[in-house]
Homo-oligomer: A and B are copies of this chain.
Amino acid sequence: MVDPTVMRQIQAELLDYKGTGMSIMEMSHRSALFEAVVNDAKDNLRQLMDIPEHYEILFLQGGASLQFSMIPMNLMFKHQRAAYLNSGVWSQKAIDEAKRHGEVIIVGDNANMMHKSLPLCDVLPDSLDYAYYVTNNTIYGTQFKQIPMEHAVLVADMSSDILSKPIDVSKHALIFAGAQKNLGIAGVTIVIIRKDLIREDVGVDTMLRYATHQKANSLYNTPASFSLYVLKKVTDWLLETGLETITKRNEFKAGLLYETIDKSTLFSNDIKAEDRSLMNVVFTTNDAKLDETFINFAKSYDCVNIKGYRSVGGMRASLYNAMPVEGVKKLIEAMNAFEAEVKA
């Protein structure tokens, strides 16, 4: 979702960007106006996330899925060995790709507990190129409230909670996220990487080296330029709104929903309290058929996309930045009405 004010601005300037008579979609990525979009988006992110100068901000294509490969390709440089904390489907996918490039040591896993809580991290072994974790697990509805491990080269997949709250960039060496959840629309992958880790001589293809994109200010080849433009607009909006306000609103939205679930005698969430995600709230009636009925029932309250992931079932409400408090209240209204109906 994108905030409606931002969306209206995008619509208003769609046919004529800054009096040029051209759409931003049609502009050459080599034009000064478009390069300004890229630089503004970088500046906005640097300010919003307090990114130190010795970190580079890159805008890439291919989504988090391509980062699962690019990270080991570029960082498994000395030891060909990395530690992964396995907290769900997305870390597992990253592990599968990393294994093609070197040794992967799993330093925590809770698959045997159905990912109902987050894994604790073992003591990290020596001689690692990096240590890797996922901050928020969209499918299981879990989220690390503290950074779960320390390492000189700590890598975090923040695809689903970037800029939903403040985080300490300086504790990390590489942070990545697709823009589509909290920062706009699909087509741009944000990579924030400590400059000393960017090497030309990693022995992989041009497009797969971070160094290529650093040298070209993320314009080595034509990017998904409209998606970059939306990223700029959304980060403008985040700056105006303030990350503190966003954080409080996200806590408030999730708080309302968890409270409703915990009070309910129909709906439940069995994620360990301190591991509950503020971004993705999973809940269920513990009856697959009744869950299905509720998902359809909720549509009349304008609540869509609340079906849980295939392997988990139940419901999942995603409360990303642009989801308004009213949206959550509507869902709660639907839940209360449904519960009353079922109990009647």
How far does the alpha carbon of A2 sit from the alpha carbon of B225 in the complex, in Å?
A: 14
Q: How far is the CA of A207 from the CA of B61 in the complex (A)?
A: 11
- Picked from B1, B14, B62, the residue with its CB within 8 Å of the CB of A207 is B62
Task: Categorize the interface residue count of chain A.
Answer: 35 or more
A3-11, A39-47, A123-131, A142-150 - the one binding chain B:
A3-11
Asked if A19 CB lies within 8 Å of chain B CBs, one says no
Q: Are A205 and B69 in contact (CB under 8 A)?
A: yes
The 8 A CB mask of A228-245 against B (1 = contact, 0 = none) is 001000000000000000
Residues of B within 8 A of A61 (CB): 61-63, 66, 187, 224
Whether A220 contacts B186 by the Cβ 8 Å rule is: no
- Evaluate contact between A207 and B66: CB separation under 8 angstroms: yes
Given that A221-B63, A224-B224, A302-B21 are contacting pairs, would A205 and B100 also be in contact in the complex, using a CB cutoff of 8 Å? yes
When the two chains form their complex, are residues B226 and A186 in contact, meaning their CB atoms are under 8 A apart? yes
Contacts of A230 in B (CB 8 A): 25
Verify B7–A186 contact, CB threshold 8 A: no
Are B28 and A305 in contact, with the CB atoms below 8 A? yes
Residues of B within 8 A of A2 (CB): 23, 25-26
Q: Could you say which residues of chain B place their CB within 8 Å of the CB of A221?
A: 62-65
A15 adjacent to chain B (CB < 8 Å): yes
Is the CB–CB distance between A186 and B62 below 8 Å? no
Residue among A62, A100, A220, A224 with the most chain B CB within 10 A?
A224
Bound-state CA distance A28–B305 (Å) is: 8
Q: How many copies of the chain does the oligomer comprise?
A: 2
- Given A186-B29, A187-B227, is A222 in contact with B302 using a C-beta cutoff of 8 Å? no
Q: Compute how far the CA of A31 lies from the CA of B304 in the bound complex, rounded to whole angstroms.
A: 11
Asked if residues A186 and B63 are in contact (CB atoms below 8 Å), the reply is: no
How far apart sit A245 and B87, CA to CA, in the bound complex (Å)?
56
Q: Which residues of B contact A89 (CB under 8 A)?
A: none
B222 touching A224, Cβ below 8 Å = no
Partner of A187, one of B100, B208, B224: B224
Q: Nearest residue in B to A69 (C-beta to C-beta)?
A: B205
Chain B residues with CB under 8 Å of A206's CB are 65, 68-69, 93, 96-97
Residues of B within 8 Å of A23, CB to CB, are 2, 7
Assembly CA distance A66 to B213 (angstroms): 13
A198 within 8 A of B: no
Distance in angstroms from A331 CB to nearest chain B CB is 16
Q: Which residues of B contact A187 (CB under 8 A)?
A: 61, 187, 223-227
Given contact pairs A186-B224, A187-B226, enumerate 16 new A-B contacts (beta carbons under 8 Å). Answer: A1-B26, A7-B23, A11-B15, A22-B304, A26-B185, A61-B66, A61-B187, A64-B221, A65-B207, A66-B207, A68-B207, A69-B206, A97-B205, A178-B222, A187-B187, A187-B224
Q: Provide 21 A-B residue pairs closer than 8 Å at the C-beta atoms, listed in order of the A residue.
A: A2-B26, A7-B14, A7-B25, A10-B14, A11-B11, A11-B14, A11-B15, A14-B14, A29-B186, A31-B305, A61-B224, A65-B206, A97-B206, A100-B205, A185-B226, A186-B225, A186-B226, A187-B223, A187-B224, A187-B225, A224-B224
